[in-house]
Amino acid sequence: MQRNTVSASALVLIALLCWIAPLSAWAQDKAWDQAEVTQLAAQMAQTIKDMRIAIRKEPQVISAGTTSKQRTTALYLDTLKKLERTSAKLARQLAEEQDREQTQGTARRIDSLARDAQDQGAKLFSTEWTNKHLEPATALLRKLRGYYKSAPASPPSS
């Protein structure tokens, strides 16, 4: 195993911070565009699926040596599976023309799973082969996050 391998959690953290950082200066607030958000969500779902497949093929994941590393790896892979399913759910919801308000809960679930994946992946390592799947996920998460940055204002109470 090379010492200069990049931590998968660090790259996942970068990708996920793009999604969960609500006050980030570079996460632009965008007007809702159903077609674009639907396309981004579909691309994100496929990218996360590809990322999960790549991570599952990593030698560090396949041959997790100690019992604690095996548990961490299993939990991490389970979280990635949930993240994949949730991103696919968001893509389906948007394809069914649900709006920001209707998909906000799924977007929040992605936030939660992203944080979990970042925490659990902290001890796992990745090669450049896996990292090539993380970079597109980072870009898509950042773009999609711009649409969920600020929810529409609630009507004032009477």
| Domain regions of the chain by residue span | 6-17+34-147
Q: From CA 152, how far away is CA 43, in angstroms rounded?
A: 24
Nearest CA to 147 out of 44, 48, 27 is that of 27
Report the C-alpha dihedral over residues 71, 84, 90, 120, rounded to 10 degrees. 30
pLDDT at 57: 82
Q: Does residue 122 or residue 141 have the better pLDDT?
A: 141
Tokens of 13: 């953290």
Q: From CA 79, how far away is CA 127, in angstroms rounded?
A: 20
Q: Does residue 100 or residue 2 have the better pLDDT?
A: 100
Residue 11 has pLDDT above 50, yes or no: no
